[in-house]
Amino acid sequence: MSSVNITFPDGTIKEYKHGVTPMDIALSISEGLARNCVVAEVNHRLTDMTRPITKDTAVRLITWKDPEAHEIVLHSTAHTMAQAVQRLFPDVKVTIGPAIENRFYYDFDTPTPFTEGDLVKIEAEMKIIIKEDLRVERKEISRNDAIDFFDKLGESYKVEIISEIPEDEMLTLYSQGEFTDLCRGPHIVSTGKIPAFKLLSVAGAYWRGDEKNKMLSRIYGTAFSSKKELKAYLELLEEAKKRDHRKLGKELDLFEISETVGPGLSLWYPKGATLRKLLEDYWYAEHRKRGYDIIQTPHIGKAELWETSGHLDFYKESMYPVMPVEGQDYYLKPMNCPFHIMVYKRHQTSYRDLPIRYAELGTVYRYELSGVLHGLMRVRGFTQDDAHIFCTLEQLNDEVEKLLLFSFDYLKAFGFEEYEVYLSTQPEEKFVGEPALWEKAQKSLSKSLKKLNIDYKVEEGGGAFYGPKIDIKIKDAIGRMWQCTTIQFDFNLPDHFDMVYTGSDGEHHRPFVIHRAIMGSLERFIGVLIEHTAGKFPLWYAPVQLKIIPVSEKYNETATTIAQAAIDKNLRVEVDKRNERVGYKIREAETQKIPYMIVVGQKEEDGGVVKLRHQGGEELASMSVKEMIAFLKEREEMRD
């Protein structure tokens, strides 16, 4: 009988019989290891524990401790949920059920939308399926046979998906008991391996995210390798609910997404607009320090501009419909890039002029399906903190290093200290630009990251078609990661717009173009800030820094005088003159999460001293109004 050589992660090579499975390998080491294995990585690809190995290869056994295990158990639990749903509701059709970050969902076509009450019944049935410990089996099948299989089951959504797959492609089905689903896998060995799960919520979702299609019923759930991990995650979700920027945005009177105005379009109330302006002012100041020229561009552009940039070819579905004006077609801008290039092209550029750094808080408009809109995090009109750097090959490394340092300094100012950094490289198939240019750009990004001792992960083939990029994700106060900063090369637009500079040799050369956004968008960044701080903004960007509470109408004039003295020093102050009890007004100021407050009564009027109360109840020593203002200004400058 022939054999295969298996190479383990430590370099050890061991001989096994031909057709050995990862489970056989695990059992040959120990039964305990076999019990803890979820899937295996065979030749750098995840595979089922029961799949035969027919050639020499590298094998890594994935246990519950490995990060890859989580997505597997999420996906397997999604299948188990779909099986439970079809047992309880036989008329339901299944569509898709992917694993997403820490969760899974499945969309169903059901005569009656699911309710929160249905989740209890579905969970109970899932527990029965888990107790049955049904073996999960993989089967390869031709496209046409798969269509016949699901057509006989009446699963029209599966038939639609499969019909769009090339005819000669082999597909895989996964079965557990009476339930079978179209799936790439891999999956756990049996349903009994699911350790801990919880169904979270129900929602509506259009088939394929298109509002012209049927509304489906979506169920969200989660699963973990232990009840302890599940409990910790559910507690995190409860904390996240308290921090939800949509909830706090309303409570703190910051913004609104009005159905009357339109979904995905934000209305900024005075406090929210103040918060936004403070961030804008900081953004402008930091960019001026670092040699950026601030520009401003229109909200619409002629069709010719978007044809030249290529947006009408590859991005039209995300653009709003054409606006005919005096025989010319115009479009709302989905991106700022073409305008920045037009500013660059206004005159001949020499190598002596480079690098050129243009920055803009530019508002763009993108058509997002209503099903994906989410507060400030996903909107249809938003302001990007865009910048474009035009430089020579020799300047690349220096510019990328400056961009990285600027990005981390900027994010740290807002309290973000932990990051995940990703370098995305050239896609295998569709890309523009010469491979040599990609190589130079990728080396520049990698070299800069290494020089600055920044840990990063490489996403091979994950770059956009027009250039490699660095993405920075920030970790918030409760451990969630948010996509934030992007540093992106662009090999597409320089060619489309025939961008050149005159080199030292007197010849024309293409500049390198780096597109960069630190916050991503103001709207999304503010949404993240609200959730990161739970609405307790630091003094330096709190919309209201000081609330003054007179104990009665008699002291309104004194309170107003104190307020004006603080306002004259550019502090942001409110006086609560309402005829309400002092305790009520104090509690409301606490609810509004205002950093500091003072109560003004007879003692304050007679003595000219005040006692600052910090948000949360801490009282500071008595001080004069002048000392109070100096204290607040000092804390503000420290970015407290």
Catalytic residue of the set 243, 287, 333, 366: 366
The verdict on whether 384 is a catalytic residue reads yes
Distances (CA, A) of 520 to 181, 472, 473, 487: 38, 10, 11, 10
SS3 391: strand
* Helix H or strand E segment including 149: helix 143-153
The verdict on whether 469 is a catalytic residue reads yes
Number of Cβ within 10 Å of residue 213's Cβ equals: 12
- Direct distance between the N- and C-terminal alpha carbons of the chain, in angstroms, rounded to an integer: 72
> CA-based Rg of the chain, rounded to a whole angstrom?
30
**Among 217, 388, 227, 364, CA closest to 295:** 388
Catalytic residue of the set 384, 426, 488, 592: 384
DSSP state of 261: T
Catalytic residue of the set 48, 385, 386, 471: 386
Number of Cβ within 10 Å of residue 561's Cβ equals: 14
- Provide the pairing of β-strand 293-294 with 356-365: parallel
Distances (CA, A) of 420 to 233, 473, 478: 20, 5, 15
Catalytic residue of the set 388, 516, 547, 593: 388
Separation of alpha carbons 104 and 79, rounded Å: 10
Separation of alpha carbons 387 and 427, rounded Å: 24
Amino acid identity of residue 501, one-letter, is: Y
The verdict on whether 337 is a catalytic residue reads yes
Token pair recorded at residue 415: 């309290």
The verdict on whether 391 is a catalytic residue reads no
Separation of alpha carbons 522 and 276, rounded Å: 7
Residues 6+ apart with CB under 8 A from 166: 143
Amino acid identity of residue 634, one-letter, is: E
Give me the residue label for tokens 């609810």. 591
The verdict on whether 386 is a catalytic residue reads yes
**Rounded to the nearest 10 degrees, how much is the dihedral formed by the CA atoms of 277, 278, 279, 280?**
50
Catalytic residue of the set 515, 532, 585, 613: 515
SS3 31: helix
Catalytic residue of the set 469, 516, 547, 585: 469
Token pair recorded at residue 80: 């188990």
Separation of alpha carbons 9 and 587, rounded Å: 59
Measured at the alpha carbon of residue 345, what is the angle toward residues 341 and 350, in degrees to the nearest 5?
115
Amino acid identity of residue 539, one-letter, is: L
Catalytic residues: 337, 366, 384, 386, 388, 469, 515
